[in-house]
Amino acid sequence: MPTTPARLAWLDALRGPAALAVTMHHAGWTYIPAFWAEVDRRIDLGTWGVFVFFLVSGYIIPASLERRGDLRAFWTGRAFRLLPLLLAGWCLVLLLAQVGMLPLEPQLSERPLPMVVLGNVTMLQELLNLPAVISVTWTLSYEMAFYLMSVALFAARQAHRSAGIAVVLAVPAVPLGLLLPGPTINSRIDLPAALLGLAVVAAIAVTVLGNGRTRTAAATAGGLLGLALVILGSRAGAWQGLIVLAAMFAGTAVYRAEQGTISWRAAGVAVAAVLGCGLPAKDDSAWAAGIVLAFGVFALVWALRGRAFPRWLPWLGVISFSVYLLHPILLYVVPDLILFFVILIPLSLMTYHVIEAPAQRLGKRLIAGGRG
């Protein structure tokens, strides 16, 4: 059974239910749509799940970056954490599509293959207005933008400003959202998306391989690109995109306050700004309920972080990425709700042991070897 260090158990205790919430949201609309419509008009469990993920990332990613203190190690770790399972998932999707068991996103065949590959491998497809091979990976685009901004702040020695950044992102989200209600990156013109995607790749490459001022400049450019992509490329509009980013920085503010580098008052202002500006970002009370519940559950589990959790909660959190990534694929090939979960959990456990864990161990060896 997968294990997790006790100090991180509370984060995994959040990840597991969050993955199940997103899974149940999609499964509900697939298998029990009439019943799920009644649930969904009260609270959007999918929104709850993804915002829990965003808060968790906001809390742990800067902590991980600062613990390593090495931008090369950070990007190597992220690559080996995410890409192996993504590659396996893409192969599975293409295989099932080939035998007629799963329909591909129509735009995948309409856009040039190099563009589709660039968007999905960089995980920026959502912000570059490119089709995703697996639909739920839209959240990874926002995660990538957050990584880019966090790396930029770390390189510029401004990482302690997370609470202020959350406020600066949340407050302008309202007027920017009204001005930019949809993406400005044209979905029919490939050149802007290609140039932006390649620019991000170049910024990461120079950050990883460069030194001194060159590395700092590349990291800063990457952070600015990440922010620009959220403002200009969010398919749901700049308002929602900026609120997602602001929520992650609010999670970072909680970490900073816990460490004593900022005041709890500053962290509270960041959270209040995100909620105040974010709840009306979508004309849907279920969206607002999902966000409020996400912040509430995050706060509750954080408060209980020193206590022991039922073993199955952290265990489920460890395999949560597999659960999250594989569930939309299974929806097309499994005929009923119960069987869906009976297959999903063991399959996710297997992919964790066969793909995720070995890849993470390899990444750690490469990082250790690079330092040696």
- pLDDT tens string 251-291: 999 999 999 999 999 999 999 999 999 999 999 999 999 99
CB 179 within 8 A of CB 238: yes
Q: Name the residue with higher pLDDT: 111 or 163.
A: 163
Q: Which domain holds residue 303?
A: 1-104+288-372
Q: Which position has the higher pLDDT, 67 or 342?
A: 342
Q: Which residue has the higher pLDDT, 313 or 7?
A: 313
Domain end, chosen from 263, 283, 303, is at 283
Structure tokens at 327: 């569930």
Predicted local confidence at residue 185, as pLDDT = 78
* Whether residues 309 and 329 fall in one domain: yes
Is the same domain home to 3 and 126?
Answer: no
Give the pLDDT score at 339. Answer: 98
Same domain as 152, residue 205: yes
Please report the DSSP string for 259-282 in residue order.
HTSS-HHHHHHHHHHHHHHHGGGS
Q: Kindly report the average pLDDT of the chain as a whole number.
A: 94
Question: Roughly what angle, to the nearest 10 degrees, separates helices 138-155 and 71-98?
Answer: 170
Report, as an integer, the average pLDDT of 85-109.
95
118 and 218 co-located in one domain: yes
Phi then psi dihedrals of residue 230, to 5 deg: -65, -45
Dist. CA 125–CA 133, nearest whole Å: 9
Q: Give the percent of the chain with pLDDT over 90.
A: 88
Residues 202 and 242 placed together within one structural domain of the fold: yes
pLDDT of residue 4: 47
Asked if 13 and 317 count as a contact pair (C-beta separation under 8 A), the reply is: yes
State the number of CA atoms in the 13 A half-sphere of 144 facing the CB.
30
Q: What average pLDDT score do residues 319-332 get?
A: 97
Nearest to 184 by CA among 240, 229, 121, 119: 229
100 to 94, 284, 372: CA distances (angstroms): 10, 36, 49
What does the pLDDT read at residue 3? Answer: 45
**Span 24-81, pLDDT tens digits:** 999 999 999 999 999 999 999 999 999 999 999 999 999 999 888 899 999 999 999 9
pLDDT of 1 higher than 60: no
Length of the chain: 372
Nearest residue to 150 (alpha-carbon basis) of 238, 54, 86: 54
262, 283, 304 - which closes a domain: 283
Burial 334-352 (b: 16+ CB within 10 A, else e): beeeeebbeebbebbbebb
Distance CA 309, CA 318 (A): 14
Residues 149-202 pLDDT 10s: 999 999 999 999 999 999 999 999 999 999 999 888 766 678 888 999 999 999
Whether residue 208 is found in the same domain as residue 266: yes
Band (pLDDT 50/70/90 cuts) for residue 220 is very high
- Please determine, for residue 87, whether its predicted confidence score (pLDDT) is greater than 80: yes
Residues 293 and 279 in one domain: no
119 and 171 housed in the same domain: yes
pLDDT at residue 372 is higher than 70? no
Shared domain check, 352 and 252: no
Same domain? For 146 and 196 the reply is yes
Total tally of structural domains belonging to the chain:
2
Whether 139 and 251 share a structural domain = yes
Instruction: Inform me whether the pLDDT recorded for 122 exceeds 70.
Output: yes
Instruction: Out of 250, 283, 316, pick the residue that ends a domain.
Output: 283
What single letter denotes the amino acid at residue 28? Answer: G
Query: What's the pLDDT score for residue 7?
Result: 61
